A and B are shown apart, each in its own frame.
Chain A
Amino acid sequence: MLELAAQQGVSVAGKGLEGSPLAIRGLTVSYGQKPAVFSVDMTVQSGAMTAIIGPNGAGKSTLLKAALGIVTPLSGQVSVFGEPLEKQRARIAYVPQRASVDWDFPTRVIDVVLMGLSRELGLLGRVRARHMACAMDCLHRVGMRDFADRQIGQLSGGQQQRVFLARALAQDADLYLLDEPFAGVDAATEKAIIAVLKSLKEAGKTVVVVHHDLATVTDYFDHVFLINTRKVAEGTVAEAFTAETLQSAYGGRLATAQIDQISRALG
């Protein structure tokens, strides 16, 4: 019965998962012979902020990219709001790693944000006043309004990251997927980004962040997903972000002192 359902492309997710913003089943991705992500199940809670955590090379970014169809998985299914990815793609906004693009590209900050409106603009549509207003508003939300006309190469790392976030905001999506948005950014940027993400959550949007700073997990997020090629733990911060799960995700790579510190912080 299940096989039949799978053959017909029907979601085989369990009860209550149909509406999940992002549900992944049995996902395996491999570059060459070594799997980067192996048989991972993930169910993202609607309207929550989820951190994807794990050591370097644990497949965090790959998981996100596979969920978006940027890399092709060997096996597994991805459903978005209970439907196949392609049907719901317009409801997802993705913020890639800052280092993934060339910042000497000849373009201005405002042009990058306007890329978020590419669906509305279409192939030949003119950029109208309302598009400009929307893009400027998104820049305003990340505190970058005054930078609209600057060339992107003049920005600091943190400012680049906020421009990427503004581009995602312009899409007005329901599910936001961010890949290491806090990597190598200044404290002001981190504050600005987290404020925007929290406001998204308050507006009922779902936010998933690949995160590397264990110290801020409890402050920023309400759900965590621990991965080290395989899924280690998944749930609310209280359930899944514990000394045991961290030990099992990071193995010997996390100093005992760090784990103690986190345990104490968790009470």
Chain B
Amino acid sequence: MLWDALTLQLGYNATLVAIGATLLGVSAGVTGTFLFLRKRALVSDAISHATLPGVCLGFMVLVAFGGDGRNLIGLLAGSAVSAWIGLLCMNWLTRHTRLAEDAAIGAVLSVFFGFGIVLLTVIQTMGVGRQAGLEGFLLGSTAGMLWADALIIAIGGAATLLLVMIIRRPMTMVAFDPEYAAARGLPVHRIDLAMMGLVMAVTVVGLKIVGLILIVALLIIPPVTARFWSERSDRVVLLAGLAGGLAGYLGAALSASAPNLPTGPIIVLVSFGFFALSMFLAPVRGVLAAVLRHMRFQRRVHIRQGLLALAQGQKIYEPLTLRLLRRAGLARADGVATETGKARAAKALRDEKRWEIVRADQTHEATAALYDGLRDIETVLTRDQIAEIDRLIGGPQEVPA
């Protein structure tokens, strides 16, 4: 069943949803990355909650003019208008009052959402009969998705993605160093607004699939997932798109593979799965890597300290140091150095002196920055450079490099 879903063989609706969710995931991940880099991830929460009044008002207008209250374009247009108003309110509050952005987000989010719920209740008591489905915008509903709906999502997502790619350089510059960007003449405020406008577009496009409450997850989780894997913003953007797209696709397939599994929440959970895996397993920034790195570092510190003590004929008291030296065959149980231990100890002592010279010499600055008290000097300098340093140190040269 799951295999059928993954290979898009579960029927027309499931296929539409899977394609739509994948595209949405990619554009949400990519757009959300810039928001994340700008440290304004929570703005997306206010934007998404501010869509609700627009959806309801859009419905009312459609019905009042005798149209179909479920016309997706009409509802999305309404949601975009109210989200934009919410965005401007938030911006105005942060720029012209002493409120911090988090307070402005809280204010806009709750007021707009509250107003939206009131309108929703009003619509339900209007007894129009065709209102069924508006609640679907809260958590997304994909059951009755039409070809036209999928097309809107695909076009909207692709257009957003294209715009993001066009203004990615100014957005990155503003995110990293807004003052420098302003000094270069970039319209920082307008670039921020454009960025949030794009986030709004993704939100509106995603209402049908994941709904306004959970779209935040697709905007924030893929970027933070991607951040674990790369130290370069352009790659973080690509990886976030990948993580988002994959989560959308897998989530949609999973929810189609069993009856009564909601699409939006499943996508979010899959996305979280990627996040959890990355958090633990990522090679450099991951939690596991950090723990292992710390333990390895501690062992190396102990061995180095032990070797230096051996070289200077000092007694070693620290049990862990002794144990590690013994296990490495560098010392006997009574703390006396073995033959290998003596050689390594002599080298360690000489390396200390070599590092001392490297660190005092400005021409070796890039090398000196790698100094951690442990690194073997031959891994960062050539044989000739070491010989040069040894000449400076003077004394007996029999210690092997």
User: Which one of A14-22, A48-56, A151-159, A227-235 is at the B interface?
Assistant: A151-159
Once the chains bind, are B169 and A123 in contact (CB under 8 Å)?
Answer: yes
Say whether B232 contacts A101, CB under 8 Å. no
Please give, as numbers and ranges, the residues of chain A lying within 8 Å of B64 by CB-CB distance: none
Q: In chain B, what residue has the closest Cβ to A86? A: B185
What 1/0 mask marks residues of chain B from 155 to 172 whose CB sits below 8 Å from any chain A CB? 000000000001101101
A89 touching B366, Cβ below 8 Å: no
- Nearest B-chain residue to A90, judged by Cβ: B185
Which of these binds chain A: B123-131, B174-182, B197-205? B174-182
Chain A proximity of B170: nearest CB distance (Å): 7
Instruction: List the B residue with the shortest CB-CB distance to A159.
Output: B369
A265 at the B interface (CB under 8 A): no
Chain B, interface residues (CB within 8 Å), range: 20 to 34
| Segment 39-53 of B: residues with Cβ below 8 Å from A | 39
- Specify the chain A residue showing the minimal Cβ separation from B231: A151
Q: Are A146 and B366 in contact (CB under 8 A)?
A: yes
CA–CA, A155 and B233, complex, Å = 17
Contacts of B227 in A (CB 8 A): 106
Say whether A89 contacts B184, CB under 8 Å.
Answer: yes
How many Å from the CB of B331 to the closest CB on chain A? 34
Residue B194 interfacial (CB < 8 Å): no
Q: Of A65-73, A201-209, A245-253, which binds chain B?
A: A65-73
B57 at interface by CB-CB < 8 Å: no
Stretch from A33-41, A107-115, A130-138 that touches the partner:
A107-115
Q: Interface size for chain A: under 10, 10 to 19, 20 to 34, or 35 or more residues?
A: 35 or more
**Is there contact, CB below 8 Å, between B177 and A100?**
yes
B86-119 vs A, CB cutoff 8 Å, 1 = contact: the mask equals 0000000000000000000000000000000000
Task: Provide the bound-state CA to CA distance between A188 and B359, in Å.
Answer: 12
Residue ID in chain A nearest B236 by CB atoms: A106
Contact indicator B185/A65 (Cβ below 8 Å): no
- Indicate which residue in B179, B231, B369 contacts A100 across the interface (CB closer than 8 Å): B179
Taking CB atoms, residues of chain B closer than 8 Å to A76 are none
- Residue of B176, B182, B230 contacting most chain A CB atoms (<10 Å): B176
Which residues of chain A from 81 to 119 have a CB within 8 Å of any chain B CB? 86, 89-90, 92, 94, 96, 100-102, 105-108, 111-112, 115, 118-119
Complex-state Cα separation, A121 to B172, whole angstroms? 14
Q: How far in angstroms is the closest Cβ of chain A from B283?
A: 14
- Chain A residues within 8 Å of B184, by CB: 89, 94, 118-119
Query: How many whole Å from A214's CB to the nearest CB in chain B?
Result: 26
Least CB distance, B75 to chain A, in whole angstroms:
33
Is B37 engaged at the interface, CB distance under 8 Å to the other chain? yes
Tell whether A115 pairs with B180 under 8 Å between CB atoms, given A106-B233, A154-B369, A159-B369.
yes
CB distance from A86 to the nearest CB of B (A): 7
> Which residue in chain B gives the minimum CB-CB distance to A124?
B166
In the complex, what residues of B have CB within 8 A of residue A100's CB? Answer: 177, 179
Pair B185/A118 contact, Cβ less than 8 Å: no
Measured CA separation A102–B183 after assembly (Å): 18
B392 to chain A, nearest CB (A): 19
Question: Hey, which chain A residues are within 8 Å of B183, CB to CB?
Answer: 68-70, 92, 94, 96, 177
B173 at the interface (CB under 8 A from A): yes
Give the CA-CA distance A146 to B370 in the complex, in Å: 12
Question: Which among B39, B179, B183 has the highest number of chain A CB atoms within 10 Å?
Answer: B183
Contact pattern, A 143-185, Cβ under 8 Å of B = 1, otherwise 0 = 1111100010111100100000001000000000100000000
13 contacts between A and B (CB under 8 A): A69-B183, A90-B185, A92-B183, A105-B175, A106-B37, A106-B231, A107-B172, A107-B232, A107-B233, A108-B232, A112-B176, A123-B166, A145-B366
Knowing that A92-B183, A107-B231 touch, tell me 18 more A-B residue pairs with CB under 8 angstroms. Answer: A70-B179, A70-B183, A90-B185, A94-B180, A106-B37, A107-B233, A111-B232, A115-B173, A118-B169, A118-B173, A123-B166, A144-B366, A153-B231, A154-B369, A167-B180, A177-B183, A188-B362, A188-B365
Going nearest first, the 9 A-B pairs with the smallest beta carbon separation are: A146-B366, A94-B183, A151-B231, A89-B185, A68-B183, A70-B182, A96-B179, A101-B177, A106-B233
